Amino acid sequence: MVSPRMGQGSGMRTSKELKFWALVFVAVCLVSCTEPAHMVGIGTTKGSSTGQVSTAIAKVVSARGDMQVRTQPMAGTIQYIPSVNAGQLEFGVANIAQLTFAVEGKALFEGHPNPHLRMVATLMPFRVGLLVAQDSDIHSVADLKGKTVPSGFRAAPLFKVLFEGFLATEKLSYEDVRQVPVSGRAQMWELFMQGKVPTAIVTLGDAGASQMEAALGGVRYLSFDDSPQALAALNKHVPGTSFELMRPTPGLTGLVAPTNLMYYDYTLFAGKDVPDQWVHLVVQALYEDAEGLRITGPLWAEFTIQGMSKDVGVEYHPGAIRFYQEMGIWPDPM
């Protein structure tokens, strides 16, 4: 016969055990039942303005905890855009000219269309031009005739296309200059800082411009001819671009006088099979933390949440469309 004391003691121990195992069950459920953050990659160009933009996106999106974004630096868009198209990489960053070339299979992607790319967000305008040393005798693109100019760009062919477009604004071509073969942007910049070529392509606001200024004792952008004829010639090589008059602004190296630079939009894109929820999370993070993007550097100074859904001629991802409709910034159909 069990004594009342033993019965009470056993009952107390059983109650404690039940509470203990209940707590264990809750803890295990919290750990195992919580959905882990999605891990995704964003293709980018190593050590460039594109890299700076991609790093800012990864930082802002990852900070929210729902998704961890890792940049995947490569030599250029011709490497990572096909990966996004094939579903091997979720996101990528490129200017609208590159994205258009990729989707249509033209220029850099001649004969190799990438039909599975979808727009996620229009990010900001990029202004691009040709830097020369402050004391250079070159004052216009026309003055490049007969001069040494970087060419080839086997690892980064967009720069070759840009040079062809820039020269065309003054009815010039690579046949009118002395070509100096380079592999890509890094070698072009190095030769420019060494004084071995008189000009280099640089995005306005890129941190590299400060290095060039220090190396050469001052730099300035050449001003493009902004006539309709010059713009038409540029667009034959680089579609979706225009000219914009930029005035000297603190922090923007190379703008020493009002200068016409080439303008195009930078974009964030994804593969068509990236889940709608993931794309929705990304655009929501960018939309809700616009200031977090702007503080990463001057490239983001003109990013606006209203401009994220801009029509740039490339189909948007359904996940992005749904968010923009929810926020009331999706353009009304014409």
Q: Where are the domains of the chain?
A: 38-125+265-327, 127-264
- pTM for the model stands at 0.76
The answer to whether 38-125+265-327 and 127-264 have equal CATH topology is: yes
Res. 6: pLDDT tops 80: no
For 127-264, give the CATH class: alpha beta
Least confident of 69-73, 172-176, 299-303: 299-303
- Contact indicator for 224, 129 with CB cutoff of 8 Å: yes
Q: Is the pLDDT of residue 188 over 80?
A: yes
| Other beta carbons less than 10 A from residue 252's beta carbon | 17
Q: How confident is the model at residue 31 (pLDDT cuts 50, 70, 90)?
A: very low
| Superfamily holding 38-125+265-327 | Periplasmic binding protein-like II (3.40.190.10)
Of 91, 150, 97, 99, nearest to 128 (Cα)? 97
% of the chain residues with pLDDT over 90? 75
pLDDT, tens digit (0-9, with 9 covering 90-100), for 79-136? 999 999 999 999 999 999 999 999 999 988 999 999 999 999 999 998 999 999 999 9
